[in-house]
Every structure is written in C-alpha cells, then in structure tokens.
C-alpha cells in the first residue's frame, strides 16, 4: 500500500529516545520505522512527541454555547435542567448546528478525533437537535468520528411523547441510546424502557446514572440487574459491559 503521509523524526513513548518516522495510508498508521524511504508528503516533527488523538466521551453539543440564554442563581442540577428546558423551546436546527459546530471545531483543532455527544429528544425540542448533530457528523466525518447518543434529559415515562421520539431517532440512525433515571418518577421503569429500545435497535446504552449523588436513590444495582437479565454481562456475549456506561 502506497503511503499517503509521513510524520518524520517523531518521538513516541515506546521507543524513546529513538526518533521514528510514522507512515499513514488509508487514514491509518501502517508503518513505524527509524527511517521510511518513500516519496510521500509529510511533516518533520523535529523530535516532538506524537500521541494518539484525544477522545471526548461525554459532551452535549446541542446545548453548547447557551450560557447567555440561561440563568444560574441556585447553582443546582434541577435549576440547570429547568433553565435549559425553557431555552431549548426556541432552538432551531440551524441554531443548534451553528453552536455545535463552534464547539466541535475547537475540539478538532486541539486534537480530538473521537467524540460521543448526548442529544436531547423530547416534545419541546423534537428531533431538531438530532437532525442538526447528524448533519454535523456527516459534514465533519473527514476529521472526527462522532457518536450520537439520544436521551431523555427530562424523563421519559413522565413526559408523554418522548419515548416515541427516541424510537424515531433510533430508526433514523442514532448510534446509541441514553437515559436519565433520576429525572423520572419511576426510575426502574425508565431503565427498563431504555434497555428495551436498545435491544430492539441492537445499540449500546450510555446512562446518566445516579448523577444527583443522592444515596437514598441509587439505580446502579437495577442497571446491573437488567444487564444480567438481557444477557449483556456474560463473557463472550456480543455486547459487553463496556457498552453499558453510567456517567
């Protein structure tokens, strides 16, 4: 395979202090050697350290850059959710795209190559956030691998219409589904519905789990129980515990 790009005289931890050339083809590193003799464009790092791209595992691109639209007098999670809930009623797809693009470009310029973003889906914002971020994912696929996790920030069972929108987003290609059990009146019912949707679409789960840090309301054990019930915790299963994440 012909090399497309070469990083020359790079320092990598495993071979320090030896400097190496790094050959890239097809978007992947295919060769590392003290000297690569190939006629390909490149850049001389002059001994600087080469590291893997950064991975952002949890961000909310659809809600980025809205500080001027929200208030924070109490500094509580409940206030933050309520303030954003009010603000997002006025969100448009173009507005979400423009704000998310600003944040995404900053991340890319600092070396981020993989990102998972949570996107709110509910009757207030509909699928506007999902459509905007899906377009962003397509437009910046050349620079970053972007995963979209649709989730019900304000609850699901206590918010009629939300589950149907989540299912529609999954039908249209959401990468995974999330949940916020602590925002629902029936947290275990919430968890059960998220697992059911994940099973239907064969997608991973990323929970906002026990985020309020209330020791009297812990749902981790229920998530573990559902993991075993669905058979996603057994060794050799095609879905591993790594795909069920509590943040």
Judgement on whether residues 99 and 213 belong to the same structural domain of the protein: yes
pLDDT at 16: 65
Judgement on whether residues 22 and 70 belong to the same structural domain of the protein: no
Kindly state whether residue 10 falls inside one of the protein's structural domains. yes
b/e code 162-190 from CB counts within 10 Å (16+ = b)? bbebbbebbeeebbbbbbbbbbbeebeeb
Kindly state the tokens that stand for 228.
Answer: 């075993």
Return the CATH number at 82. Answer: 3.20.20.140
User: Which residues, 6 or more positions from 148, have their beta carbon under 8 angstroms from its beta carbon?
Assistant: 117, 119, 130, 133, 134, 137, 174, 175, 176
Q: Are 152 and 125 in contact (CB under 8 A)?
A: no
- Spatial separation of the C-alpha atoms in residues 157 and 164, rounded to whole Å: 11
Sign of CA dihedral 216, 199, 165, 59: positive
Kindly state whether residue 112 falls inside one of the protein's structural domains. yes
Judgement on whether residues 171 and 142 belong to the same structural domain of the protein: yes
Question: Which tens digit of pLDDT belongs to each residue from 224-233?
Answer: 999 999 888 7
- 54 beta partners: 112
Judgement on whether residues 148 and 212 belong to the same structural domain of the protein: yes
Judgement on whether residues 96 and 185 belong to the same structural domain of the protein: yes
pLDDT at 235: 46
Antiparallel, parallel or unpaired: β 5-11 and 19-25:
antiparallel
Domain that holds residue 152: 54-246
DSSP result, the chain: ---SEEEEEEE-GGGTTSEEEEEEETTEEEEEES-------EEE-TTPBP-PPEEEEEE-GGGTT-GGG---SS--HHHHHHHHHHHGGG--HHHHHHHHHHHHHHHHHTTEEEEEEEEE-BTTTBTHHHHHHHHHHHHTTTT-EEEEEEE-TT-STTSTTHHHHHHHHHHTT-SEEEE-GGGSSSHHHHHHHHHHHHHHHT-EEEE--STT--TTS--HHHHHHHHHHTT-SSTT-SS-GGGEEE-
Kindly state whether residue 49 falls inside one of the protein's structural domains. no
Judgement on whether residues 153 and 101 belong to the same structural domain of the protein: yes
List the chain residues with pLDDT less than 50.
235-244
How many domains does the chain fold into? Answer: 2
Judgement on whether residues 63 and 23 belong to the same structural domain of the protein: no
Judgement on whether residues 200 and 89 belong to the same structural domain of the protein: yes
Kindly state the tokens that stand for 4.
Answer: 């497309």
Q: 192: exposed, middle or buried (C-beta count within 10 Å: 0-12, 13-18, 19+)?
A: middle
Kindly state whether residue 127 falls inside one of the protein's structural domains. yes
Judgement on whether residues 131 and 13 belong to the same structural domain of the protein: no
Judgement on whether residues 33 and 155 belong to the same structural domain of the protein: no
Instruction: Identify the residue whose tokens are 């050697």.
Output: 33
């Amino acid at each position: 395979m012909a090399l497309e790009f070469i990083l020359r005289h790079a320092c990598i931890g495993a071979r320090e202090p030896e400097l190496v050339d790094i050959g890239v083809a097809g978007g992947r590193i295919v060769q590392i050697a003290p000297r690569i003799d190939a006629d390909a464009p490149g850049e001389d790092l002059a001994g600087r350290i080469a590291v893997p791209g950064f991975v952002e595992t949890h961000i909310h691109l659809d809600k980025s850059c809205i500080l001027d639209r929200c208030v924070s007098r109490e500094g509580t999670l409940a206030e933050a959710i309520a303030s954003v809930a009010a603000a997002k009623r006025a969100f448009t797809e173009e507005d979400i795209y423009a704000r998310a693009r600003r944040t995404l470009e900053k991340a890319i310029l600092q070396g981020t190559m993989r990102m998972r973003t949570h996107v709110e889906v509910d009757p207030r914002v509909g699928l506007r956030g999902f459509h905007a971020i899906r377009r962003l994912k397509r437009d910046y696929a050349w620079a970053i691998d972007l995963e979209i996790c649709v989730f019900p920030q304000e609850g699901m069972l206590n918010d009629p219409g939300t589950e149907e929108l989540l299912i529609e987003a999954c039908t249209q290609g959401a990468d995974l589904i999330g949940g916020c059990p602590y925002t629902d009146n029936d947290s275990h019912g919430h968890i059960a519905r998220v697992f059911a949707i994940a099973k239907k679409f064969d997608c991973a789960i990323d929970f906002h789990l026990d985020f309020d840090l209330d020791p009297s309301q812990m749902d981790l054990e229920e998530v573990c129980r559902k993991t075993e019930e669905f058979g996603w915790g057994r060794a050799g299963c095609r879905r591993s515990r790594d795909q069920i994440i509590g943040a």
